[in-house]
Amino acid sequence: LPISPFIANLPKVELHVHIEGTLTPSLRWELAHRNNIKLPYTTFSDLKASYAITLNHRPELHGRQPGIPTFLEAYFAGCEVLQTETDFYDLAMAYLTRCAEMKVRYTEPFFDIQAHTRRGVPAPAVLNGYLRAQRDAIKLGVHSRWIFCFLRDEPVQSGLDAYAQARPWAAGNGKGLFHAVGLASNAYERPPMLFEEGFRLARADGLHVTMHCDFGQKDTHEHMGEAIFQVCGGLGAERIDHGLDAEDEEVLWRGLVDRGIGLTLCPHAYHRRTETGVLFPKIRRLWERGVKMCFNSDDPTLMHDVWVDGNMQKVYSFCGFGKSEMVQFVRNAVDMCWAEEDIKRAIY
């Protein structure tokens, strides 16, 4: 789908992107050589070709069996080449440079500390690499506030330990890298309320709270109910990542509207496994009911290289939205974002 000049030139905000999901085959190849890591591909073109099939190509598993195993396996396999602070800096700078090219003025990338510490990478290597990129990208006109993610398929205590390690890099009394916590990875039998202690700790530190409610997961409506009404001592999450299944149940979409919880949707992620005529009307119905939403890329290099501009183009082309609505979605993202007021005003 070609990106129209209108979408290309629109100043953008991105609120749902996993930094590890922006690792390109070429940087992965370069880092593998830099770190003497053997990849299961002998040539660069074999590596590149492997990205074409890392979508969930097992539709028989959707919404039932363990989440999205084939996809997440590829995602965590990619992480293995990331070893030193410089590697994490290079990963982050590559994404933030791409942001500048796409006119993304502000972004809130997720990062998974546990994906790296469990391989023996020290947490400060990850955090200092991202912190340096956060600072250097301002020169490119790209501001960022990052989001610490709990890996929900790891033990709760492992996430709490990672959070304790990352805390000196938080906003408030820390170095200002991240301003929020999120919840990612495989949701199979891992409802949000399991992580309540982590959310409470983060809130006590003055951080914001968001969480994934992936589209079409097992128990998705129960998970959404917890995210909207139960977590954070009953306050609910401040945003929900994906959350498209709320469209199925009035109590859920009304809860989103009444509580002002916005969704960070990633249309291409769903379009990989959902008919055009089913998906885009579903997004449009949520919008018509007054649910606040914005459009994002999720894991662009693992999702056919469709970045935030391509995701915005999809809803522009397939939802029947006009230019003023597309501008409004960027404004929604500004409203939903966790930048300081001066940055919000500058990007609005």
In the chain, how long is the greatest CA-to-CA distance? 54
166 and 123 in contact (C-beta within 8 Å)?
yes
- Angle subtended by helix axes 85-101 and 123-137, to nearest 10: 30
Q: Which does 21 bind (CB under 5 to 8 A by kind): ligand ES4, Zn ion, none?
A: ligand ES4
- Angle subtended by helix axes 156-166 and 123-137, to nearest 10: 50
Considering the complex, what minimum distance in angstroms separates the CB of residue 264 from Zn ion? 8
Is residue 223 within the footprint of ligand ES4 (CB under 6 A)? no
Q: Which does 75 bind (CB under 5 to 8 A by kind): ligand ES4, Zn ion, none?
A: ligand ES4
Considering the complex, what minimum distance in angstroms separates the CB of residue 38 from Zn ion? 29
Q: Toward ligand ES4, which CB reaches closer, 298 or 309?
A: 298
Is residue 154 within the footprint of Zn ion (CB under 5 A)? no
List Cα–Cα distances, 342 to 133, 345, 348, in angstroms.
Answer: 21, 5, 10
**Residues touching Zn ion: how many (CB under 5 A)?**
1
Is residue 146 within the footprint of ligand ES4 (CB under 6 A)? no
Is residue 247 within the footprint of Zn ion (CB under 5 A)? no
Q: Toward ligand ES4, which CB reaches closer, 193 or 343?
A: 193
Which residue of the chain is nearest Zn ion when measured via CB?
298
214 and 220 in contact (C-beta within 8 Å)?
yes
293 and 286 in contact (C-beta within 8 Å)?
yes
Single residue of 7, 10, 13, 18 touching ligand ES4 by CB under 6 A: 18
Considering the complex, what minimum distance in angstroms separates the CB of residue 184 from ligand ES4? 4
The residues in 171-190 that bind ligand ES4, with binding defined as CB under 6 A, are 184-185
Considering the complex, what minimum distance in angstroms separates the CB of residue 61 from ligand ES4? 14
Which residue of the chain is nearest ligand ES4 when measured via CB?
184
Q: Toward ligand ES4, which CB reaches closer, 105 or 116?
A: 116
Is residue 21 within the footprint of ligand ES4 (CB under 6 A)? yes
Considering the complex, what minimum distance in angstroms separates the CB of residue 172 from ligand ES4? 25
- Of 146-154, 248-256, 297-305, 334-342, the window that binds Zn ion (rule: CB under 5 A) is 297-305
Considering the complex, what minimum distance in angstroms separates the CB of residue 241 from Zn ion? 5
Considering the complex, what minimum distance in angstroms separates the CB of residue 270 from ligand ES4? 10
Is residue 75 within the footprint of ligand ES4 (CB under 6 A)? yes
Q: Which does 228 bind (CB under 5 to 8 A by kind): ligand ES4, Zn ion, none?
A: none
The residues in 190-219 that bind ligand ES4, with binding defined as CB under 6 A, are 212, 214
Is residue 307 within the footprint of ligand ES4 (CB under 6 A)? no
Binding site for Zn ion (CB under 5 A): 298
* Residues near ligand ES4, by CB under 6 A: 18, 21, 75, 184-185, 212, 214, 269, 298-299
